[in-house]
């Protein structure tokens, strides 16, 4: 029996399709998806703090800033979340990435999709 086959272990000959592992992504696309999702989460926290501060301001310059630049920030933020999910799905389907972290990158994409559906279904 060759040395590359292992019985019941996680050696070199073990099957990679056994399920998702708790390791970090090992493929290039999986790593991209992970970092894009991290950027989305950090950006979302910054956005929550920024809107809380800017939304209650009575200063005209701050209000002009919020109406001029914050929509671009929101589009960039949601694009980052959507792309993280798409790249994560491509990594899982094409490169057979089996990291749980890569699977979790789909969550920001689903959040963005649900938010957009809500915006178009119930405009305000």
- pLDDT exceeds cutoff 90 at 109: yes
Residue 18 banded pLDDT, cuts 50, 70, 90: low
Encode pLDDT of 26-76 as tens digits: 899 999 999 999 999 999 999 888 877 777 778 888 888 778 888 898 899
99, β-bridge pairs: 21
Round to the nearest angstrom and report the end-to-end CA distance of the chain.
Answer: 68
Domain coordinates of the chain in residue numbers?
Answer: 22-121
| E strand or H helix that includes residue 63 | helix 60-68
pLDDT at 4: 52
- pLDDT exceeds cutoff 50 at 13: no
What's the pTM value of the predicted model, to 2 decimals?
Answer: 0.75
pLDDT at 10: 47
Question: Which positions ≥6 away from 24 have C-beta within 8 Å?
Answer: 31, 34, 99, 101
In this predicted model, which residue has the larger pLDDT, 106 or 54?
A: 106
Give the CA distances from residue 57 to residues 54, 69, 74, 83, 124, in Å, rounded to whole numbers and listed in that order. Answer: 5, 15, 19, 32, 21
Q: Which of 1, 21, 2 is nearest to 10 (CA)?
A: 21
């Amino acid at each position: 029996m060759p040395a590359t086959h292992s019985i019941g272990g996680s050696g070199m000959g073990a099957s990679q399709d056994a399920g998702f592992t708790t390791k970090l992504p090992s493929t290039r696309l999986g790593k991209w998806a992970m970092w894009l999702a991290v950027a989305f989460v950090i950006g979302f926290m910054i956005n929550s703090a920024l809107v809380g501060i800017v939304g209650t301001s009575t200063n005209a310059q701050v209000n002009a800033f919020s109406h001029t630049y914050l929509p671009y920030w929101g589009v960039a933020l949601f694009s980052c979340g959507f792309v993280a999910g798409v790249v994560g799905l491509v990594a899982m389907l094409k490169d057979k990435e089996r990291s749980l972290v890569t699977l979790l990158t789909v969550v920001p994409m689903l959040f963005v999709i649900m938010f957009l559906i809500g915006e178009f279904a119930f405009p305000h």
